[in-house]
Amino acid sequence: MSVRTIRVVFMEAAHADPQDPGTLPEGVAGLRAQLLALALDVTDRDRVTALRELADLTNTISAVQARLISDLDASQRAADDVADIPEDRRRGVVGRVASALRESPRNAQIAIGVAKALVTEMPHTFAALTQGTLTWYRARLLVSETACLSLPDRRTVDRQVCGDPAGLEGVGSRKLAARARKAGYELDPVSAVRRAAKAEADRYVSLRPAPDCMTWLTVLLPVAQGVACYAALKAAAASGVATGDGRGIGQLMADTLVTRVTGQATADAVPVGLHLVMSATALMSGDCEPGRIVGHGPVPAALARRLVTTAPAVASWVKRLYEAPAGLVATESRSRCFPEGLAELITIRDDTCATPWCDAPIRHIDHITPWADDGPTALTSGQGLCAQCNLEKQDRLVQPQVVDDLDGPNRGQPRAPAQAQIRCAPAA
Question: For residues 383 and 353, what is the distance between their CA atoms, to the nearest angstrom?
Answer: 8
Single pTM value for the model: 0.71
> Do residues 157 and 149 touch, judged by C-beta distance below 8 A?
yes
CA diameter of the chain: 78
**Closest listed residue to residue 347, CA positions, set 307, 301, 293:** 293
- pLDDT tens by residue, 206-215: 888 888 778 8
Question: For residues 140 and 149, what is the distance between their CA atoms, to the nearest angstrom?
Answer: 15
Question: For residues 428 and 424, what is the distance between their CA atoms, to the nearest angstrom?
Answer: 12
Strand partners, 293: 276, 297
Question: For residues 269 and 231, what is the distance between their CA atoms, to the nearest angstrom?
Answer: 25
- pLDDT tens by residue, 139-157: 999 999 999 899 999 999 9
**Closest listed residue to residue 56, CA positions, set 118, 4, 122:** 4
pLDDT tier for residue 417 given thresholds of 50, 70 and 90:
very low
Question: For residues 13 and 32, what is the distance between their CA atoms, to the nearest angstrom?
Answer: 12
Q: Three-state secondary structure along the chain?
A: CCHHHHHHHHHHHHCCCCCCCCHHHHHHHHHHHHHHCCCCCCCHHHHHHHHHHHHHHHHHHHHHHHHHHHHHHHHHHHHHHHCCCCHHHCCCCHHHHHHHHCCCHHHHHHHHHHHHHHHHHCHHHHHHHHHCCCCHHHHHHHHHHCCCCCHHHHHHHHHHHHCCHHHHCCCCHHHHHHHHHHHHHHHCHHHHHHHHHHHHHCCEEEEEEECCCEEEEEEECCHHHHHHHHHHHHHHHHHHHHCCCCCCHHHHHHHHHHHHHHCCCCHHHCCCCCCEECCHHHHHCCCCCCEEECCCEEECHHHHHHHHHCCCHHHCCCCCCCCCCCCCCCCEECCCCCCHHHHHHHHHHHCCCCCCCCCCCCCEEEECCCHHHCCCEEHHHEEEECHHHHHCHHHCCCEECCCCCCCCCCCCCEECCCCCCCCCCCCC
Strand partners, 40: none
Which of 24-28, 41-45, 234-238, 405-409 is the least confident region? 405-409
Question: For residues 90 and 78, what is the distance between their CA atoms, to the nearest angstrom?
Answer: 11
Q: What is the mean pLDDT of residues 345-359?
A: 85
171, HSE (Cβ side, Cα atoms, 13 Å): 21
* Mean confidence (pLDDT) of the chain: 80
pLDDT tier for residue 187 given thresholds of 50, 70 and 90:
very high
Question: Which of 30-34, 37-41, 47-51 tops mean pLDDT?
Answer: 47-51
**Burial status of residue 110 (CB atoms within 10 A of its CB: 0-12, 13-18, 19 or more):** middle
Q: Does residue 29 register a pLDDT over 80?
A: yes
The pLDDT value recorded for residue 289 is: 80
- pLDDT tens by residue, 149-185: 999 999 999 999 999 989 999 999 999 999 999 999 9
Q: Is the dihedral of CA 368, 371, 373, 374 positive or negative?
A: positive
The pLDDT value recorded for residue 12 is: 60
The pLDDT value recorded for residue 423 is: 41
- pLDDT tens by residue, 247-277: 899 999 999 999 999 888 887 766 656 677 7
Question: For residues 78 and 422, what is the distance between their CA atoms, to the nearest angstrom?
Answer: 13
